[in-house]
């Protein structure tokens, strides 16, 4: 199996891409540490893995809480080891013109989407450096590559994640640590549902979006989970500092 004998900690694994990634990593032999601000959801993901015969544990914490994040990372490393950190937890923003974005929205999206990956990397990197190996996978977005109207704050944070990933890869590479990002297009998850719910006609907005994709559909969480497995595994051993686009062809249409 592709992740046999590896321990993978995934934030935001109570639902969506995070849960799909946790299940796929477990299928590939990893011990999965499921974490989420919703402790019950994190526990459900871990329980599903164990019921399928896999190995999993869970933690409840907010990724914006640096101390709580560090405690979970250090406890995981001491108990199970730590090979892969997937900074998946993130939030979107209600569609809005730049000048209409409320400061509370700006602060909250920045806190989760930027401080989350920072806090996780800050906690995990010393452990990975000392052991001489490790992999960090950060969840960015196509919005971080292209920018989208009425998604200015989300695009701002996801673009920053890409360059943070590159900086991490350049700095930690000599110590045997790889860092890569994934840039999904629209994936059929709760985050996408929330985006469309902000439109006057959600179903029409969804259908209009589908027509912008050469594959004529939105992505599935499991398809991004496959990207996580690839970047977490030794199959990508010579890949670092890369932003992997998984967008159904949107960026070329």
The Cα–Cα gap between 147 and 37 comes to 27
- How many other CB atoms sit within 10 Å of the CB of residue 99? 6
Q: Which domains does the chain have, with CATH numbers?
A: 7-187+220-243 (3.40.50.720)
- Does the pLDDT value for residue 197 go beyond 90? no
- Does the pLDDT value for residue 143 go beyond 80? yes
The runs of H, that is alpha helices, within the chain are: 16-27, 39-51, 66-79, 103-110, 116-131, 142-146, 152-172, 190-197, 202-210, 221-232
- Going by pLDDT thresholds of 50, 70 and 90, the confidence category of residue 185 is very high
Helices 190-197 and 202-210 sit at what angle, rounded to 10 degrees?
A: 120
- Among 108-112, 199-203, 225-229, the minimum mean pLDDT is found in 199-203
pLDDT at 113: 98
Query: Residue range 109-134: average pLDDT?
Result: 98
- Going by pLDDT thresholds of 50, 70 and 90, the confidence category of residue 94 is confident
Choose, from 154, 195, 213, 250, the residue flagged as catalytic: 154
- Among 86-90, 116-120, 197-201, 225-229, the minimum mean pLDDT is found in 197-201
Q: Rounded to an integer, what is the distance from CA 134 to the centroid of its chain?
A: 16
Six-digit token string for 5: 């004998």
137: CB partners within 8 A, 6+ apart: 84, 85, 86, 87, 88, 179, 180, 181, 182, 228, 231, 232
Six-digit token string for 52: 């399928």
Task: Answer yes or no: 80 catalytic.
Answer: no
The residue length of the chain stands at 253
Query: Residue range 40-53: average pLDDT?
Result: 98
The Cα–Cα gap between 136 and 150 comes to 30
Share of the chain above pLDDT 90, in %: 90
Query: Residue range 70-85: average pLDDT?
Result: 98
């Amino acid at each position: 199996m592709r992740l046999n004998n590896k321990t993978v900690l995934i934030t935001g694994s109570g639902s969506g891409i995070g849960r799909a990634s946790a299940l796929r990593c477990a299928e590939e032999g990893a011990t999965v540490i499921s974490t989420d601000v919703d402790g019950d959801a994190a526990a459900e993901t871990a329980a599903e893995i164990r019921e399928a015969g896999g190995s999993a544990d869970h933690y409840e914490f907010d990724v914006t809480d640096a101390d709580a994040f560090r405690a979970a990372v250090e406890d995981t490393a001491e108990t199970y080891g730590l090979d892969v950190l997937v900074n998946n937890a993130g939030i979107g923003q209600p569609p809005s013109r730049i000048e209409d974005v409320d400061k509370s929205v700006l602060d909250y999206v920045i806190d989760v989407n930027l401080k989350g990956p920072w806090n996780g990397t800050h906690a995990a990197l010393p452990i990975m450096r000392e052991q001489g190996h490790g992999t960090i996978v950060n969840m960015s977005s196509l919005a971080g590559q292209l920018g989208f109207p009425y998604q200015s704050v989300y695009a701002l944070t996801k673009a920053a994640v890409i360059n943070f990933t590159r900086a991490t890869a350049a700095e930690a590479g000599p110590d045997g640590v790889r860092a890569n990002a994934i840039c999904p297009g629209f994936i059929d998850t709760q985050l996408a549902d929330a985006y469309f719910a902000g439109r006057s006609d959600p179903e029409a907005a969804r259908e209009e979006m589908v027509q912008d994709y050469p594959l004529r559909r939105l992505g599935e969480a499991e398809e991004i989970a496959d990207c996580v497995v690839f970047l977490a595994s030794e199959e990508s051993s010579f890949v670092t500092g890369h932003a992997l686009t998984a967008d159904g062809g949107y960026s070329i249409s």
